[in-house]
Amino acid sequence: MPGPPKKRYRRTPSPKSGTDEEDYQPYIPVRERKKQQLVKLGRLQQVQVEEKSGRNFSPSSGTATEEDEEKEEEVPISVSVEPKVETKKVETKELWRAEEEFLEKNKNVSLLEQHKELQEIADQRKETNIEKMRREEDRILQSVGESTALKGVSELAMGIEYTEPIKTSWKPPRYIQSMPKARHDRVWKKYGIDVEGIDPPPPLKSFKDMKLNKVMVDTLTKRKIENPTPIQMQGLPTVLSGRDLIGIAYTGSGKTLVYVLPIIMFCLEQEARLPFARDEGPYGLIIVPSRELAKQIHEIIEGFTKDLTKNGMPQLRTCLAIGGMPTSEAADVIRSGAHMMVATPGRLMDMLNKKMVTLDVCRYLCLDEADRMIDMGFEDDVRTIFSYFSAQRQTLLFSATMPKKIQNFARSALVQPILVNVGRAGAASMNIIQEVEFVQPEAKIVHILDCLKKTSPPVLIFAERKQDVDTIHEYLLLKGCQAVAIHGGKDMEERIRSLSLFKTFKKDILVATDVASKGLDFPEIQHVINYDMPEDIENYVHRIGRTGRGKNTGIATTMINSKVDEAVLSDLKHLLIEAKQKLPPFLASIQTEADVMNEYMGDGGCSYCGGLGHRITACPKLENVQNKKAGEVGKKDYLASNAADY
Ligand code: ADP
Ligand code: MG
């Protein structure tokens, strides 16, 4: 007797009406049920689409419930509506029909067989929905891609397209060149290096193979840098051989040397060939989003060039062009002929406008923290700077976050680029223990003292707003802590003084806004405390990345509460899961659409900002960007520029 009812029971979920989902629920785990609900809603959408005929299927609505209908209206992503998925619609419909027909026909076939075949049909159906959603996501990503080319004015005017990478005299050692591709594959695999692009140079596992100047290798050894990190293994040969590069590797993984060592080598070569005349240069240009970072890179370069001069090599001059400092110093270096220049976008643009510097001989351009620069509103400035180039240059972009956005932005400026990825773009460094604590807003400031007990100094405290930085700073001083503070509202001298006190261990705590979150390499930070959760997850990755640098490890503590946006919390949750960190109950309980979608789509998160806790269809950042763009239509100044860093 148990046979027939069972059979009938198995047939009840047959999707005749598409609305009988209750039948599934009592017997299936929540996660599985959600997944099935998605499949089903996908079909519901199809039915609605067919009824309305001609209206497209949107993946955001693919997971929406009826109450979400209003929200759906609000989603500002302006994807053109094209009635193009007709064939897929038919396919999905046919699959359902196939299932029904199958059930009719196979009444007498064994349950196991039936199950297998039904499973296959269900898989195919799932596949079509996934494809559809993926196509929709791709289209959104493309539609937000940048349209204006990143080129020099003369290049644009004359329609010049560079198709071949720049040629340099550098070649990998012959013994490496003669090795088979399988060896390179093995090295890439072993060190987790992901390389894309046409004809990438082979990875090199020692600085010796990179044929650097001996003095430079000695300087590296003096700084206890003996073996290249994975990004350096692939990045250095790529840059030395003249190729354009997008380098993505986690915070503290040694990206700076990937562009600093080659730029010095190239300048040495240029100087040896023909000494730089007065007012000539720069040959190499490095643009970064904050003054402090520019200063740090300038110091690193000077460290190498001073050692070179001491050892009888030609003197190389590096100009530092940052806001908050008199332009006269930079002008002096340019007047004597500058080989290299490290600049923030605002100041550089100003100097270009005033014709204090030209990019006529500039052949090497590096944007470090490239995506941060765009996020901070420097996009227009970077575009303008590109327009000052008059010849082909080698272009390099670095960041720990966001490959696709950088690629979209830079597509027109790069020539046959090599993309080197070490780890997922946007992933946190695995050297950091990440702790997240639920703290009510009014208890946060007192809680800092508890956090400070966790480790010895130096400790870095981040807050989003300048007022909070000042409040925390005052509070810590009152409590007798050795603290300094920096933010965009303080003058440059004070910023430099505070940083130097902190870097030389004369002060224990630095309280800062995000001016200190990008690229700064403080020695041995033990603990990063986030007084608040940044508005986007990439900023979080950069902030905590001030600890756990190089071979060091560190702790990051982040205070969250119910005021924090759920999308960011969801991103944080997934980032912690990815880095195998402990999930606090508050975060674990957050369930968003992306939890189901990520699993269902088989890949992680938002293709626009890299957040793992949402899809591009619900990206708060994209929404912000588009709203901002819409608001800026017709305005002609640089409102979005970060005045603090000009
Ligand atoms: P990123 O830009 O990737 O965040 P940095 O270039 O600032 O990282 O480097 C982080 C730290 O690691 C620096 O203090 C640097 O001196 C050190 N470092 C760089 N390369 C190496 C290496 N090959 N071996 C050991 N330490 C290194
Ligand atoms: Mg860096």
pLDDT value, residue 29: 59
For the ranges 90-104, 246-260, 276-290, 457-471, the lowest mean pLDDT is seen at 90-104
- Ligand nearest to the backbone CA of 431: 1
Question: pTM score, two decimals?
Answer: 0.78
Residue nearest to atom 24 of ligand 1 (CA): 225
Q: Give the pLDDT band (50/70/90) at residue 337.
A: very high
pLDDT of residue 126 exceeding 70, the answer is no
pLDDT in tens, 571-597: 999 999 999 999 999 899 888 777 777
CA–CA distance, 493 with 506 (Å, rounded to integer): 17
pLDDT in tens, 243-275: 999 999 999 999 999 999 999 999 999 999 998
- Ligand nearest to the backbone CA of 253: 1
pLDDT of residue 469 exceeding 90, the answer is yes
- Is there a contact between 396 and 247 (Cβ–Cβ < 8 Å)? yes
CA–CA distance, 73 with 54 (Å, rounded to integer): 18
- Of ligand 1's listed atoms, the one at least distance from the Cα of 545 is 4
pLDDT value, residue 291: 94
Phi, psi of 428 (to 5 degrees): -80, 155
pLDDT value, residue 346: 93
Both tokens of residue 212? 């650097």
Q: Give the pLDDT band (50/70/90) at residue 91.
A: low
* Residue partners of 159: CB distance under 8 A and separation at least 6: none
259 Cα–ligand 2 center, Å: 10
pLDDT value, residue 40: 54
- Across the range 615-638, mean pLDDT stands at 69
pLDDT of residue 188 exceeding 90, the answer is yes
Domains (range + CATH), the chain: 29-108 (no CATH), 153-422 (3.40.50.300), 432-645 (3.40.50.300)
pLDDT value, residue 157: 75
pLDDT in tens, 350-377: 999 999 999 999 999 999 999 888 888 8
Choose one of 234, 549, 551 to mutate for the ligand 1 pocket test, by most ligand atoms within 8 angstroms of C-beta: 549
Q: Helix, strand, or coil here: 341?
A: strand
Q: Is the CB of 92 under 6 A from ligand 1?
A: no
232 Cα–ligand 1 center, Å: 10
pLDDT of residue 490 exceeding 70, the answer is yes
CA–CA distance, 533 with 535 (Å, rounded to integer): 6
CA distances from 200 to 182, 238, 408, 473, 604 (A): 13, 7, 21, 49, 27
251 Cα–ligand 2 center, Å: 7
Averaging pLDDT over each range in 56-60, 97-101, 183-187, which range is the top one? 183-187
- Of ligand 1's listed atoms, the one at least distance from the Cα of 223 is 16
302 Cα–ligand 2 center, Å: 17
Q: Give the pLDDT band (50/70/90) at residue 613.
A: confident
Q: Is the CB of 256 under 6 A from ligand 1?
A: yes
- Across the range 108-137, mean pLDDT stands at 76
550 Cα–ligand 1 center, Å: 5
Q: Is the CB of 372 under 6 A from ligand 1?
A: no
Residue nearest to atom 1 of ligand 1 (CA): 252
CA–CA distance, 117 with 119 (Å, rounded to integer): 5
489 Cα–ligand 1 center, Å: 29
pLDDT in tens, 301-315: 999 999 999 999 999
Q: Which residues pair with 418 in a beta bridge?
A: 245
Give the whole-number percent of the chain exceeding pLDDT 90: 55
597 Cα–ligand 2 center, Å: 33
Please provide the average confidence, as pLDDT, over all residues in the chain.
Answer: 82
- Ligand nearest to the backbone CA of 300: 1
